[in-house]
Homo-oligomer: A and B are copies of this chain.
Amino acid sequence: MGTLFRTRPPLVGQRPYTPSVASSLPATEDDVEAALSLLRAAGGRVTTARRALLEVLYEASDHRTAEELAADVHERLPDVHMSTIYRNLEELERLGVVAHAHLGHGPATYHLASSAHGHLVCARCGWTTEVPDRAFAGLSRDLKRTFGFTIDPRHFALLGVCEGCG
């Protein structure tokens, strides 16, 4: 049903795919500890930089660029380097704790994988509207049936025009 093309291979990185390891975590402050346990279980080490990053991730759970997260971390640990932020975000993504999305132009944004939602981005005013997972239940079912494709509803952005700008 409908044209289907298969194109070039590696447009997306080689990251191992971990659907939602962390999506069952509760919503309190010791989510941080839970995430740190995950890290340790994976043979990783608990460092102050990692704890701080997790804290700012759990405190403000909307989409934040690596730069913004670094700024937050720096309020507590001024010497944490950007490369550390990036490396840890990568690691946390591998563990399924955070996810990133590319919303239009500009840097990637990171958010907790547990906050399951998609993004609507208004092309006129640039504002971002979050949409809960289940809004995509129907689409999800259709794509599964038609294309055999299982969407990860936490990772995408739809561009369009918001109510105010319409």
Contact = CB atoms under 8 A, between A and B. Distances in A.
Given A6-B129, A139-B136, A149 B162 contact: yes
Interface stretch (A30-38, A70-78, A81-89, A103-111): A103-111
A161 B103 contact: no
A14 interface: yes
A20 to B, nearest CB: 12
Interface string A139-166: 1001100111111100111111111001
Interface string A9-25: 11111111101000000
Given A123-B152, A158-B156, A131 B2 contact: yes
The complex is assembled from copies of this chain, and their number is: 2
A27 interface: no
A10 B104 CA distance: 10
Contact of A11 (B126, B134, B166): B126
